[in-house]
Copies of this chain bind each other. A is one copy, B any other.
Amino acid sequence: MEPIGLAVVGAGYWGPNLVRTAQATPALRLRWLCDLDEERARTVLGPYTTVRATPSYRQVLDDPDVAAVAIATPAATHFELVRAALEAGKHVLVEKPLTPSAAQSAELVDLAARYGLVLMCDHTYCYTPAVRKIRELIHGGEIGDVQFVDSVRINLGLVQPDVDVLWDLAPHDLSILDHVLPADVTVEAVAARGSDPINAGRLCVAHLSVLLSTGVMAHVHVNWLSPTKIRTTVIGGSRRTIVWDDLNPVQRLAVYDRGVDRAPAGTLGQDERHEALVSYRVGDVLVPALPEREALREVMAELADAITQERPPLTGGDAGLRVVALLEAADRSVAEGGALVPVRHVAESDVMKEHA
């Protein structure tokens, strides 16, 4: 089978990674790297390549050998670029966030569905071996009911002119949440607070409480102000608890054997209750083996497969839209002093139904 012709758009921070992994994917054939700054595109391609650089998006879209584009430009440009690609009949892979607005995102999801094209969001983390395993553990019932989620993502991030920490970092946590939760669990509402202790003019620290349809709270802490990096997610279940420490290569995932038991009311004295607090944990811990695979290569393989098999990708436009809807609601909550703001349900089925 012929490889699928691909163009990468954007030679900035993430573009080079798309270029590299596309070239390592046999089912894809990279045709172009497009950037307004053609020189930068040439530099990214390097002196040994047969791939062409161009400053013209038009040229890319007009190339009949290009079946798909991968867009890694600033978020503000996504809507126009994705729309143009879909209208030119190209499949699209786009960086997060899908667009800066839920309405625009929905329009793109709609457009892709209407044209029968693949619209895929590069929610890279969903393709890591750790997140795949988490999803498998939750969907397979090994965790039991999810009782709480606590996600911390703190970094040293330079303050940006157009994006706050919510839109910069939280898409990672929210797209992971969207990906691993059971299909019948939806996000109902979100409350968010943040602060800007360095007077940067935008949030540099934010806390989100995401209310799930099961009544469970998932909490996300994103933070630009720390010289040390922390990336830990704890998912507590009725049967087991998962601790994911993404910066610990020798124990990225640990599954703790038992959740909490309810002691019959009144049967325990002050003493016994605290005994439990003293023990470090009650059951064995399993550290599952994870394959060493690069997530972005899996993204590329999934893009190719979705196109070939004419099926929705694992992280389609609908997932991107759900994340954007959540971020919009979080923005509103911050503006309203931390109030709980409902999130519009965006199920894959809705989008599908519309075009049935």
Contact = CB atoms under 8 A, between A and B. Distances in A.
Given A209-B207, A276-B157, A280-B250, A225 B236 contact: yes
A309 interface: no
A198 B258 CA distance: 14
A284 interface: yes
A355 interface: no
A266 interface: yes
Contact of A283 (B150, B227, B263): B227
A197 B221 contact: no
Interface string A271-284: 11111111111111
Residue from A48, A251, A257 having most chain B Cβ neighbours under 10 A: A48
A156 B225 contact: no
Nearest to A227: B256
A249 interface: yes
Interface string A196-237: 011010001101010000111101010111111110001010
Contact of A338 (B209, B214, B279): B209
Interface stretch (A23-31, A83-91, A106-114, A344-352): A23-31
Contacts of A287: 254, 284-287
Contacts of A278: 292
A12 B241 contact: no
Nearest to A194: B217
A148 interface: yes
B273 A158 contact: yes
Contacts of A152: 150, 152
A227 B260 contact: yes
A259 to B, nearest CB: 6
B340 A340 contact: no
A14 B238 CA distance: 29
A101 interface: no
Given A24-B46, A48-B30, A260-B225, A292 B280 contact: yes
A147 interface: yes
Contacts of A236: 223, 225-226
A258 B207 contact: no
Contacts of A249: 247, 249, 280
B262 A200 contact: yes
Contact of A219 (B48, B221, B289): B221
Interface in A96-112: none
A221 B150 contact: yes
Contacts of A226: 148, 234, 236, 241, 256, 259-260
Contact of A207 (B219, B283, B292): B219
Contacts of A271: 12-13
Nearest to A193: B209
Contacts of A197: 145, 147-148, 214-216
A265 B160 CA distance: 7
23 contacts: A14-B274, A50-B50, A145-B197, A147-B198, A150-B152, A150-B154, A154-B234, A158-B261, A158-B263, A161-B266, A191-B338, A195-B217, A225-B259, A227-B240, A227-B283, A229-B280, A247-B249, A247-B250, A284-B289, A285-B289, A286-B287, A337-B339, A338-B339
